[in-house]
Structure 1
Amino acid sequence: MKYIPFYILLGIVLYACKPNHIPSEEPASKIRPNVLILLTDQWRAQATGYAGDPNVKTPYLDSLAAMSVNFTNAVSGMPVCSPFRASLLTGQRPLTHGVFMNDVQLDSNAVTMGKIFSKAGYITGYIGKWHLDGHGRLQFIPPGARRQGFDFWRGNECTHDYNKSLYYMGNNPTRKTWQGYDAFSQTDEAIRYMKAKEKSDNPFLMVVSYGTPHAPYHSAPEEYRNRFDPDKIILHENVPDSLKMKAKKDLAGYYAHISALDDMVGKVIKNLKESGQLENTILVFTSDHGDLLGSHGAYKKQQPYEESARVPMLFHIPKNLDITTGEREALMNSEDILPTILGLCNIPIPYSVEGINYRPYLEGKAQVGDATLLTCVQPFGQWNKVEHGGREYRAIKTKRYTFARDLKGPWLLFDNTSDPYQIDNLIGNAQFASLQNDLDRQLSERLRETRDEFLPGMDYIKKWGYPVDETGTVPYTH
């Protein structure tokens, strides 16, 4: 049986008993905006036109960024799929909700986004990749508790076959296949859903969870693949010579996926404008983590490097909320997304939520901390200990520095301003000893505040009762 901390149980009870009061005389449906979350998979923060990537043009995302709040230092606190998704839904850190590895189930009793918005009178819908059920990547997720409060359902646990992508519709356990490249069909389905809600008395919450630009990198439609010549790709300076040829080829495919998704962002915005819903919709664009793609001699995620941990984070906020658009330096983390959306919607934030509500910060009424945490509880999969030298770590990230400690002690220290590609590890450098000690102290304080004992990964696996193979990875089935 899974271990469930007392304070989670207390939060569930308090949430169930807490009156859903909103300080307004108007009906909630008349004053609350719709919420649309466009979630991508493995899209690193650097890979957009507005972020300055020389390899790709993202005109629709650039346009969205221009009319949004852009959290330029946003991170995925545990940069891997399921942990981020669980934090997005619960507003909790991984050691609280327990999903610190892929392919395990988020507690069906958790207080989640879908349940909170449903209780507040929203119509809820989910399209695309779920990766929170842990019962097999292609298996039917039945209506009820395992869908965590989402009613409209066009979802599947996890697949990366983007041209033969499976999903399930509503209560029907029969497998269906998205027509063509799945991001296109998923976008059309989301637009149909939102159009059907135009005259509804209730606002909607819709999550569209795309599988790309995650590998396989070369499966975007041909018209997008043809836009990118691997020989012309400009690599980050931290890609070793041994991986440069492969990285250029894979990045060409990665950018093809990104260009396709950029078109889908444009299509969504166009339809929201035409329907008159854009200025009554909070639109969040983000990703569950980044992708190293050869940087530091590695691929994919889990590690604390910028390409892995930093993610795009755009909040388009209706003008009537009177929040100024533009770049913000605050270090928004995964668990902060839910409470910020709830704050913007005037929905009470459950006691179980650990993240920060950024609305007062956005209104200029409050300051937020200048550091946040990055965590790897148990390295697994493509970064497991046995085959790939993975390691448990805890890291503190400020606007300028990244400092990481593994179980043996200080591991990494980077000045991300003077060394944006994190090539020069300053650990042990006498010139930076004072800085290292200060960041080490800050990290220890944050771990105490978050009740993180920083134990070996297997201790947490035993505590939560997860089955793992010889590499420390939770096996999954299709």
Structure 2
Amino acid sequence: MQQPNILFITVDQMRADCLSILGNPVIETPNLDQLARGGALFRNAYTATPSCVPARAAIMTGKSQASHGRVGYEDCVPWDYEHTAAGELAKAGYHTQCVGKMHVYPARNLCGFHNIVLHDGYLHHNRYKDRNLVTESFDHCDDYLPWLRRRAGADADLTDLGLDCNASTVARPWHLPEALHPTNWVVTQSIDFLRRRDPRKPFFLWMSFVRPHPPFDPPQAYLDLYDGMDLPGPVVGEWAERDDEDLSGLNPVTARGRVPANRLKKARAAYYALITHIDHQLGRFFGAMDEYGVLNNTLIVFTSDHGELLGDHHLFRKALPYEGSAKVPLIVSDPGGFTGISRGSRVDEVVELRDLMPTLLHAAEAPIPPGVDGCSLLPLSRGLKVPWRDAIHGEHEYGALSTHYMTDGREKYIWFSQSGREQLFDLCADPGEITDLTGDDEYAGRLEHWRARLAAELEGREEGYSEGGRLIPGRTPKTVLDHLTGAGQIPAEG
């Protein structure tokens, strides 16, 4: 069979429940809904490490966090993986291109792509002028900002709106023509790739959007769709902290706290608006694919690296294992029926971002390299019953709130590695994670089951979280494991 083109679309910080086809009562995602109708929609897709850097390592390498070594968020750790999705597809004869966010190090590391047109958003380690060599300064590694300055003026910058890149509680409309927005830019550059690609080869295009990650800056027309609407509020668990004595909710980049109601409502409206803006721009790109004659021989995969808590349980941003942060949208679609995806199917098996790399290679009929922990999603997408994992393990270094979690899509167990605190949720009866079942005697057996599963998962880990089938709290958490950096290795003699 002829190799299909592959379009891989990622957005940054999009919750799994922000698709109208999944019953969200307010959001409009018509193009993504159509994509799902033409393919498989995965209802239990998770990111094991819910922040940008480790999640993208799983996407690119097909490895679990214990294998790729990134178990928290840390910049400036080199990306030197032997096998990446783009590199293996290039070996298989694909013309490979990334447009948008990579979030690797060094920033212009190709990671196997033939070319990248880069915009990672506001990256602190590249923006800070007192700690960068010229070759790693933001002006040298970002492609969007020079493009913007040629059109909007030499002084234009990402910070002109006064919104921080991690501000999940404040919003205002985009101040320039919509065509200059970073979302439109990704699509504009991707359409140009369709023009410039090698027509003798199948293509692998990764369209990687920075939004709906903050800043929450949708074009005014999109903000108008939701601003003033009676939006449903965040879910708040019975276990959630109600007090905010230090007024942390007033901080625009807070990770927790009681945010003023009007500010939070505006932020939620802007977040939905950014998603609808991306959806409409994807419609623009699908139209261009049709014009270039490639829509019906292309496998399309859509997902996010992680979610956004958006006020759930008085929490914001990501890193924690609750559904708003750790569960992601995932669609595998085939508009032309080229790869045999079951149209309109719904898949309930629990899957993780590590499964994407082997899925892309399987579609390309390319060999899956050794060391890949993920499994191809194509059999599930085709409606086949195949052996599958019964649960996944996730984790994230987060200081005093560092966590490990396990879920099978029906229950979720959370262990706070520093305090030993546990939580257990019945996701079928309680998808909002309102009721913590750890104190319910009826669930004592389930709690012990998951505790033992996690202890077995962590046995032998360098942090010392588990020994003899028992979880050990209080060990020092890490953002990267020693095998990634070479730390703790004994130098060779001579």
TM-score band, normalised by shorter chain: 0.7 to 0.9
Aligned to 1:5: none
In the alignment, structure 1 residue 36 sits paired with structure 2 residue 34: no
Alignment correspondent of 2:366? 347
- Structure 2 match to 1:369: 389
The aligned amino acid for 2:206 is V
Q: In the superposition, relative to structure 1, how do residues 465 and 373 fare at CA in structure 2: closer, same or farther (>3 Å)?
A: closer
TM-aligned CA deviation for residue 370 of structure 1: 2.5
- How far off is 1:359 after superposition? 2.6
CA RMSD of aligned residues (A): 2.9
* Structure 2 stretches lacking a partner, 5+ long: 125-137, 152-179, 243-257, 467-474, 486-494
What residue in structure 2 maps to residue 222 of structure 1?
220
Q: Distance in 2 between matches of 1:93 and 1:295?
A: 27
Query: How does 1:4-153 map onto structure 2 within 5 Å?
Result: 31-100=2-71, 101-133=73-105, 141-142=107-108, 146-153=109-116
TM-score (norm 1): 0.79
Q: Output the CA distance in 2 between the equivalents of 1:77 and 1:115.
A: 23
Instruction: Name the structure 1 match of 2:454.
Output: 443
**Residue pairs, 1:33-432, within 5 angstroms:** 33-100=4-71, 101-133=73-105, 141-142=107-108, 146-159=109-122, 175-177=146-148, 180-197=180-197, 200-217=199-216, 219-230=217-228, 232-238=230-236, 242-243=258-259, 244-317=261-334, 319-325=337-343, 326-363=345-382, 364=384, 366-376=386-396, 378-379=397-398, 385=399, 390-407=400-417, 408-409=419-420, 411-432=422-443
Deviation at 1:306, TM superposition (A): 0.5
| TM-score (norm: length of structure 2) | 0.77
Q: 1:459 to 1:71 in 2, by over 3 A?
A: closer
Deviations 1:399-425 (A, max 9, x none): 211111222435110011111211110
Shift in alpha-carbon separation, 1:111–1:453, aligned structure 2, 3 A:
farther
Q: Is the 8 A contact 1:361 1:367 kept in 2?
A: no
Distance in 2 separating the partners of 1:328 and 1:449: 33
Change in CA separation of 1:247 and 1:370 when aligned onto 2, cut-off 3 Å: farther
Letter in 1 for 2:88: I
Q: Any idea what SS the aligned residue of 1:437 has?
A: helix
Per-residue CA deviation, residues 29-87 of structure 1 (Å, 9 max, x unaligned), is: x7111111111010001112112111211111111111121111101111100111111
Tell me which moved more, 286-295 or 262-271: 262-271
One-letter identity of the residue aligned with 2:279: D
**How many angstroms does 1:94 deviate by?**
2.2
SS in 2 for 1:285: strand
Percent of pairs with identical residues? 27
Secondary structure in structure 1 of the residue aligned to 2:265? helix
Question: Counterpart amino acid of 2:388?
Answer: V
Instruction: Output one character per residue of 1:206-258: Cα deviation in whole Å (capped at 9) or x when no partner.
Output: 111111011121x1111111221245211133288844443212101101111
Give a deviation string over 1:402-460, Cα, whole Å, max 9, x none.
Answer: 11122243511001111121111011321110111122223334445999954745456
Matches of 1:173 and 1:278, distance apart in 2: 26
Partner secondary structure for residue 284 of structure 1: strand
What amino acid does structure 2 have at the position aligned with 1:337? Answer: L
Structure 1 residue 167: Cα displacement: 7.7
Question: d(CA) in 2 for partners of 1:367 and 1:340?
Answer: 16
Structure 1: stretches of 5+ with no match in the other structure: 1-29, 136-140, 380-384, 467-478
Per the TM alignment, residue 106 of structure 1 is displaced from its structure 2 partner at its CA by 4.2
Please give the alpha-carbon distance, in whole angstroms, between the structure 2 residues aligned to 1:131 and 1:71: 25
3-state SS in 2 of match to 1:188: helix
Q: Which one-letter code corresponds to 1:322 in the other structure?
A: G
The separation in 1 between residues aligned to 2:210 and 2:412, in whole angstroms, is 28
Please give the secondary structure, in 1, of the residue aligned with 2:205: strand
How far is the alpha carbon of 1:175 from its aligned partner? 4.5
The farther-off stretch of 257-266 and 314-323 is 314-323
CA distance in 2, matches of 1:428, 1:368: 31
Cα deviations across residues 175-203 of structure 1 (Å, max 9, x unaligned)?
Answer: 44386101102101101212333x71211
Secondary structure, counterpart of 1:304 in structure 2: coil
How far does the alpha carbon of each residue in 1:308-360 deviate from its partner, in whole angstroms, 9 at most, with x for none?
01111011135133231211011110111111111122110000211112233
Give, in whole Å, the separation in 1 of the partners of 2:94 and 2:281.
24
Measure the CA separation in 2 of the matches of 1:116 and 1:201. 18
Q: Distance in 1 between matches of 2:196 and 2:461?
A: 43
Q: What SS does the corresponding residue of 1:209 show, helix, strand or coil? A: strand
Q: Judging changes above 3 Å, is the alpha-carbon distance between structure 1 residues 459 and 83 closer, same or farther for their aligned structure 2 residues? A: closer
CA contact (8 A) 2:410 2:426 kept: yes
| Secondary structure of 2:394 counterpart | strand
- Distance in 2 (alpha carbons) for counterparts of 1:287 and 1:173: 21
